[in-house]
Amino acid sequence: MTTTLRLFSTLALMGAMRNLSDRFEAETGTHIDAVFSPTVGLLERLRNGEPADVLILTSEALDDLSAKGTVAPESCVHLARSFVGLAVKAGAARPDISTEEALRKTLLGARSVAYSRTGASGIFFAQLIEQMGIASEVNARALVIPSGFTAERLVSGEVDIAIQQLSELKLVEGVDLVGPLPLRLQTPGVFAGGRVAGSERAAQADALLKYLASPAVAPVLRESGLEP
């Protein structure tokens, strides 16, 4: 009989997990029923009593759940780092974002910028433009989406710049990834996994986490835009 693990994962690892879930099931016979959403949304589902066996969240959120006993501390593993990047519609001119000043000119010259309201990348970007002193100008023409993939708004023609985790931008077809925002302006997001303390499938959950943290999956993580 096939065992099914319920996985709550941040959107940043969605591309990698689609690939790795199939591999894991083929190797172990354990099926993964995955829910992908920003960390904030996943935490809300947990608070509402929705069951899960394995969580992949920002390391800060997972550490908090571990301290509260929701996640088994001994099961926690760091999985990947991610940087926030910028994308444009496929074929469009690629703006210069190599320096802070170049990024400033690009953002101020854009018709509209899409970023997320609740995702880690959106929270970071909102703070960044505030620090750069251009928040009012950018937000006056920004499209701030509740959740989901900002790059979809490039394809629809609603905006000409999309900001999100590199791994999330890469999931949308019809866009060109320009690259990460200047690395000196950002601290990489760290994503970690852990087993829900009350899981009745502890052995399978721990096996999945061990697999995701193994060197064998590093190429898949890199291909999806993450750093192991």
The CATH code of the domain that includes 129 is: 3.40.190.10
Same domain, 75 and 100: no
Same domain, 159 and 203: no
In a domain, 228, yes or no: no
Per-residue pLDDT reduced to its tens digit, 78-136 = 999 999 999 999 999 999 999 999 999 999 999 999 999 888 899 999 999 999 999 99
3-class secondary structure per residue, 142-197: CEEECCCCCCHHHHCCCCCEEEEEHHHHCCCCCEEEEEECCHHHCCCEEEEEEEEC
Provide the domain count of the chain. Answer: 2
Same domain, 137 and 49: no
Same domain, 117 and 206: no
Same domain, 172 and 125: yes
In a domain, 17, yes or no: yes
| Pairwise CA distance, residues 180 & 111, whole Å | 20
Whole-structure pTM value: 0.87
Per-residue pLDDT reduced to its tens digit, 200-223 = 999 999 999 999 999 999 999 999
Write out the residue range of the structural domain in which residue 31 sits.
Answer: 4-81+189-223
Per-residue pLDDT reduced to its tens digit, 28-49 = 999 999 999 989 899 999 999 9
Same domain, 154 and 177: yes
